[in-house]
Amino acid sequence: MLQRFRKPLIACVLGAAALGACGNPTGAARSLEGRESNPGATADKPEPVTPPFAVSGELEGLLLVWVDAQGVHTAQKRSEIPEAQRAFVRVDSLNVAPDARLDAEHVYVADVRTPDAKGAYPVSKASRTWFDAQVDRAKPPPAAASAGSDSVVVYKASWCGACKSAAAYLRSRHVNFVEKDVEKDPGASQEMLQKAQAKGLSPRGVPVIDFRGEIMLGFDQARLASLIDRYAKAI
């Protein structure tokens, strides 16, 4: 069952039968201690440099790394890199003397779309953190159900143990779903209430799970398993 909101104590209960919900006082502000920072937010921005090797022509003899939505790829020459990915290519050379190489925390990134009058391409020095952040940006978002009646949404709060258990169970059953934090996103809170009220329900806590149009108050593993199995048989 859902536990009602209690102030000032916020209670979170996960029952032995895997039925749980966490109280969520409306409008209450909570500190997010230990929140992880964006790994690319403070990374050094690339700065134009002249590397100790030529970056021109077909780029043969260089180590070339390009990125798309499928991940990281290597190439032997420029013509092997798709045109859409040529603006952002990591370049390096194994022929550079050790004392002339970049430190382990930086990489060279080139724009190999259009050469200058001498056939060379502009190169920048970037931190590995920045480069990794660009790789992550190129990846598509995690697969999730559409926003229509076929979607699976877990309305949660970051501190809620039952919410985490519900999400972990969905992942273990290979169910694609979206998580929405009702404390951080007022729109998510309103959306959750509208969906529940449309079914004649009045949430008093989280999680609230929208499983393809069926609204579940709290985490009931047995019921969730039944819904997953029912949908699987309907496919």
Residue 232 clears pLDDT 50, i.e. is over it:
yes
What mean pLDDT is predicted for residues 197-212? 92
Beta strand 208-211 with 214-217: parallel, antiparallel or unpaired?
Answer: antiparallel
Express as a percent the part of the chain with pLDDT over 90.
57
Find out if CATH 3.40.30.10 is the number for domain 12-29+142-234: yes
pLDDT of residue 29: 30
pLDDT tens column, 13-35: 333 334 456 654 333 333 223 33
CB contact at 8 A, 141 and 77 = no
The residue ranking higher by pLDDT, 187 or 42, is: 187
Burial grade of 200 (CB within 10 A; 0-12, 13-18, 19 or more): exposed
10-24, 59-73, 92-106, 144-158: which range is least confident on average? 10-24
Tokens of 39: 């790994």
pLDDT of residue 234: 53
For CATH 3.40.30.10, list the domain ranges present in the chain: 12-29+142-234
C-alpha to C-alpha distances, 23 to 4, 119, 192, 211, nearest whole angstrom: 6, 64, 15, 21
What is the 8-class DSSP label of residue 84? G
Burial grade of 19 (CB within 10 A; 0-12, 13-18, 19 or more): middle
Which parts of 86-220 fold into alpha helices (H)? Answer: 128-138, 161-172, 186-198
In sequence order, what are the beta bridge partners of 153? 178, 210
pLDDT of residue 140: 63
Global model pTM greater than 0.95: no
CB contact at 8 A, 93 and 64 = no
pLDDT of residue 132: 87
All residues at 6 or more sequence positions from 25 whose CB lies less than 8 Å from its CB, including other chains: 5, 6, 7, 10
What mean pLDDT is predicted for residues 94-104? 90
Q: How confident is the model at residue 196 (pLDDT cuts 50, 70, 90)?
A: very high
pLDDT of residue 143: 42
Residue 53 clears pLDDT 50, i.e. is over it:
yes
pLDDT of residue 151: 86
